[in-house]
Amino acid sequence: MLETITPPIDVPRANLDPITTLSEKLAVFSLALMRPLRHETIVLCCDSSQRGVGIFAFDTKLKLTKIIDRIIGSAIKIESVATISLCTSRAGDSQLATDQSQFTIAKNRCQNAGITLIDWLLVAHGDVQILN
């Protein structure tokens, strides 16, 4: 889906505009995802007012529970991070049977680190799944 949509016209501005809706998150993620889609996870870091304060990517096929500690370690280095949203591209693969349990484990790990994992978007060709 993100490979075929036109570039967003209205992208939230870092440190200014809250990123609260799915379309706002997709606008940010669509600018960060590599094309053609490949295995990667993008992390959107927001402050307590849901304004974007950082974004970074992990280029890996590893499951979320295998990289969540690296995600947390990177996010906590940004002082104002209160929440994160994730977007994983699987280069064609859709949702897996273990995704919900992976998300639950990752959410708990984030909570233990003082960060709220809001949602996880799974992107494949022609499809976006949302776990929250």
Q: Specify the pTM.
A: 0.90
Q: What one-letter code names the amino acid at 9?
A: I
Spans of all domains in the chain: 1-8+35-97+120-126
Structure token digits, residue 72: 């947390």
Integer Cα distance of 126 and 1 in angstroms:
4
Q: Is the pLDDT of residue 45 over 80?
A: yes
**pLDDT number for residue 93:** 66
For 72-130, the pLDDT digits (tens) are 999 999 989 999 999 999 876 677 889 999 999 999 999 999 999 999 999 887 788 89
Integer Cα distance of 58 and 68 in angstroms:
10
**pLDDT number for residue 7:** 54
